[in-house]
Amino acid sequence: MGLFAQVTSVWLYVSDGTYKEYNYGNVKVKFKRTTNKEISKLSYKTALTIQAIKALGKENIDSKTVDRIARVITLTDKKIMLRESQYSTAWVYEVIKKVCLA
C-alpha cells in the first residue's frame, strides 16, 4: 500500500493458524495469528487494509496516514471495504470509516 519506505527482510503472513516463525538465510518468514473476521470472506484490499492498519498500530494512525490509504483505494473498493470491515476490531473500523470518507 506504500505505507512503509523500508525494505524488509521479514515476510509476514496472517492466518487463522498458530504463530510460527522460520528463517531462510537472511530472510525471516512469520505466520501471525489473526481472527477469521479480519481475513475470511473479505476482498483482498479490505483484508490488506485491515492488516496494514493493525501493523501501524492505533497510536501511529494520523490524518496523513488516512489520506495516503484513501488515495490508493478506488471509490468502488471503498464502498466494499466499508461494508466488509464492519465486524473488524472497533478502532480499525473507525480508521476505515475515515479512509472511506476521505
- Taking residues 30-49, what's their average pLDDT? 79
Helix, strand, or coil (residue 78): helix
Which amino acid does the sequence have at 40?
Answer: S
- Taking residues 14-39, what's their average pLDDT? 78
Average predicted confidence (pLDDT) for the chain:
84
Answer whether residue 8 is part of any domain: no
Q: pLDDT tens for residues 42-84? A: 888 898 898 889 888 999 999 999 999 999 999 999 999 999 9
C-alpha cell at 81: 471495504
pLDDT at residue 90 tops 90: yes
Residue 60's domain comprises 35-101
This prediction's pTM: 0.70
C-alpha cell at 71: 488515495
Answer whether residue 27 is part of any domain: no
Q: How many domains does the chain have?
A: 1
Answer whether residue 40 is part of any domain: yes
Judge whether 54 and 88 are in contact, CB under 8 Å: no
- Taking residues 20-27, what's their average pLDDT? 86
Find all residues with CB under 8 Å of 58, minimum gap 6, and list them.
91
Answer whether residue 69 is part of any domain: yes
Q: Any idea what the Cα angle at residue 74 is, between residues 50 and 79, rounded to 5°?
A: 65
Helix, strand, or coil (residue 17): coil
